[in-house]
Amino acid sequence: MATTHPFDQAIDLRAVDKGVYAGATTPAYANMVGPFGGITNAVMLNAALLHPEALGEPIALTVNFASPIANGAFEVRASPMRTNRSTQHWFINLSQGGEVAATATAVFAQRRETWSAQEASAPLSLPVPDQLPRQPLQGRPAWVRRYDMRFVKGDLPEAWDGREQGDSSSLLWIRDDPARNLSFTSLAAIADSFFPRVYIRRRRPSPIGTISLTTYFHADAALLAEQSDRAVIGVARAINFRNGYFEQQAEVWSDTGQHLASSQQMVYYRD
Amino acid sequence: MATTHPFDQAIDLRAVDKGVYAGATTPAYANMVGPFGGITNAVMLNAALLHPEALGEPIALTVNFASPIANGAFEVRASPMRTNRSTQHWFINLSQGGEVAATATAVFAQRRETWSAQEASAPLSLPVPDQLPRQPLQGRPAWVRRYDMRFVKGDLPEAWDGREQGDSSSLLWIRDDPARNLSFTSLAAIADSFFPRVYIRRRRPSPIGTISLTTYFHADAALLAEQSDRAVIGVARAINFRNGYFEQQAEVWSDTGQHLASSQQMVYYRD
Q: What is the pLDDT of residues B22-67, one digit of tens each?
A: 999 999 999 998 999 999 999 999 999 999 999 999 999 999 999 9
The predicted pLDDT at position A125 comes to: 84
**List of residues 6+ apart from A110 with CB closer than 8 A:** A55, A56, A57, A86, A87
The predicted pLDDT at position A89 comes to: 98
Contact call for B220 and A243, based on CB within 8 A? yes
The predicted pLDDT at position B2 comes to: 66
Closest chain B residue to A209 measured between Cα atoms? B87
Average pLDDT estimate for B184-193: 98
- Cα dihedral A45→B36→B106→B237 (10° resolution): 70
Q: pLDDT above 90 covers what percent of chain A?
A: 95
> Which A residues in the span 22-61 are in contact with B, Cβ-Cβ below 8 Å?
59-60
Average pLDDT estimate for B65-94: 97
The predicted pLDDT at position A2 comes to: 66
User: Chain B residues with CB inside 8 Å of A243's CB?
Assistant: 111-114, 116, 220
- For the stretch B103-130, pLDDT in tens is 999 999 999 999 999 999 999 789 999 9
- For the stretch A66-86, pLDDT in tens is 999 999 999 999 999 999 999
- For the stretch B235-267, pLDDT in tens is 999 999 999 999 999 999 999 999 999 999 999
User: Chain A residues with CB inside 8 Å of B240's CB?
Assistant: 117-120, 218, 259, 262
Q: How many other C-beta atoms are found inside a 10 Å radius of the C-beta of residue B184?
A: 22
DSSP string, A111-136: ------EE-SPPPPP---GGGSPPPP
pLDDT band at B271 (very low <50, low <70, confident <90, very high): confident
User: Chain B residues with CB inside 8 Å of A170's CB?
Assistant: none
User: What are the Cα distances from residue B87, in Å, to B58, B84, B106?
Assistant: 10, 5, 10
- For the stretch A118-141, pLDDT in tens is 999 999 789 999 999 999 999 899
DSSP string, B198-221: HHHHH-S---EEEEEEEEEE---H
B270 CB within 8 Å of a chain A CB: yes
d(CA B258, CA B123): 10
Of B119, B240, B270, the CB nearest to A119: B240
d(CA B90, CA B249): 23
Q: Which of A57, A69, A218 to mutate to test the interface with B (most CBs of B within 10 A)?
A: A218
The predicted pLDDT at position A3 comes to: 81
> Which A residues in the span 106-165 are in contact with B, Cβ-Cβ below 8 Å?
107, 109, 111-120, 164
pLDDT in tens, chain A (271 residues): 568 999 999 999 999 999 999 999 999 999 998 999 999 999 999 999 999 999 999 999 999 999 999 999 999 999 999 999 999 999 999 999 999 999 999 999 999 999 999 999 999 789 999 999 999 999 899 999 999 999 999 999 989 999 999 999 999 999 999 999 999 999 999 999 999 999 999 999 999 999 999 999 999 999 999 999 999 999 999 999 999 999 999 999 999 999 999 999 999 999 8
The predicted pLDDT at position A102 comes to: 98
- For the stretch B125-176, pLDDT in tens is 899 999 999 999 998 999 999 999 999 999 999 899 999 999 999 999 999 9
User: What are the Cα distances from residue A199, in Å, to A32, A170, B197?
Assistant: 14, 12, 34
Min Cα–Cα distance to chain B from A91, Å:
8
The predicted pLDDT at position B57 comes to: 98
B77 CB within 8 Å of a chain A CB: no
Cβ atoms of residues A125 and A152 within 8 Å: no
